[in-house]
């Protein structure tokens, strides 16, 4: 993107919109496992800061699609669900890895691979 930013500006682009960029196990990255680390396949934190600087120098906006109401099954807090109230658990034992919809916990759009955070928990 940094190498092609002038091309975009020349064609009237004034904003860049990105799907989630945080480290994840899928190409869409809506199932992040670390909200503090940019997926290495997309570049480094320094690369992202350079992109922001270059975009802002040209008057462009950068918008990130943030997904802060769900994560991936391997997220540390989901693994710790027995001891903490980080998710919407309906009943135990959890069935997070078999095929089908999420039935004993809430998942985004009922997807087992995207467990929803309990955002009313202050932790």
Q: What is the pLDDT of residues 26-80, one digit of tens each?
A: 889 999 988 999 999 999 999 999 999 999 999 999 999 988 888 888 888 888 8
**Range 8-29 burial, b when 16+ CB lie within 10 A, else e:** bbeeeeeebeeebbbbbeeeeb
Q: What is the pLDDT of residues 84-111, one digit of tens each?
A: 788 899 998 889 999 999 999 999 999 9
What is the CATH code of the structural domain delimited by 69-123? 3.90.400.10
Per domain, the residue ranges of the chain are 5-64, 69-123
Does the pLDDT of residue 82 top 70, yes or no? no
What pLDDT is recorded for position 50? Answer: 98
Q: What is the pLDDT of residues 14-23, one digit of tens each?
A: 999 999 999 9
């Amino acid at each position: 993107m940094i190498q092609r930013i002038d091309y975009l500006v020349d064609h009237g682009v004034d904003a860049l919109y990105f799907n989630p960029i945080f480290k994840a196990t899928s190409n869409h990255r809506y199932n992040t496992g670390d909200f503090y680390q940019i997926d290495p396949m997309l570049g480094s934190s320094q690369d992202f800061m350079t992109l922001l600087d270059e975009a802002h120098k040209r008057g462009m906006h950068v918008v990130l699609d943030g997904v802060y109401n769900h994560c991936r099954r391997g997220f540390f807090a989901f693994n710790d669900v027995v001891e903490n109230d980080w998710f919407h658990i309906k009943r135990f034992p959890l069935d997070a890895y078999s095929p089908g919809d999420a039935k004993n916990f809430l998942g985004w759009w009922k997807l087992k691979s995207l467990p929803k955070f309990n955002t009313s928990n202050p932790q």
